[in-house]
Amino acid sequence: MGVFTEIFSWWGGNSWSNRLYTALRGRHVGTDSQGNRYFVQNKGIGPLGVPRRWVIYKDLAEASQVPPEWHGWMHYMVDAPPTEEAYVARPWQKEHVMNMTGTPAAYRPPGSILASGKRPKATGDYSAWRPGERAKSGS
């Protein structure tokens, strides 16, 4: 993000005040494959009784951009950041992808009005409710 964007857009996450706070109180501990930078409080403790940890996103401030190895460190599940230990993804792990909801790449199930396919036919076990009609008992 450019300096101009940081000054005039609070929704981007990396504002000028965040940059100043990070410069004064943070120590850079690593960068992930997407370019997000991770920091830890360089002295003292945070409100949880441990040094505060935070991320400055490369582009969009979206929490689902944090990959699993950094998520564990950010939430104090592990003490050492992935840069200080040899993190190896399990063979069954897929490559991390952020939440795509609301984007053109979002999952569109069959039958969705946004999907390109047609809605599957009803199976015959459904009857529409009509006003004034009582529900059938036993079902």
In 3D space, the residue among 21, 38, 27 whose CA is nearest the CA of residue 74 turns out to be 38
At 53 the pLDDT is 93
Reported pTM: 0.68
For the chain, which residues score pLDDT lower than 50?
none
pLDDT for residue 73: 92
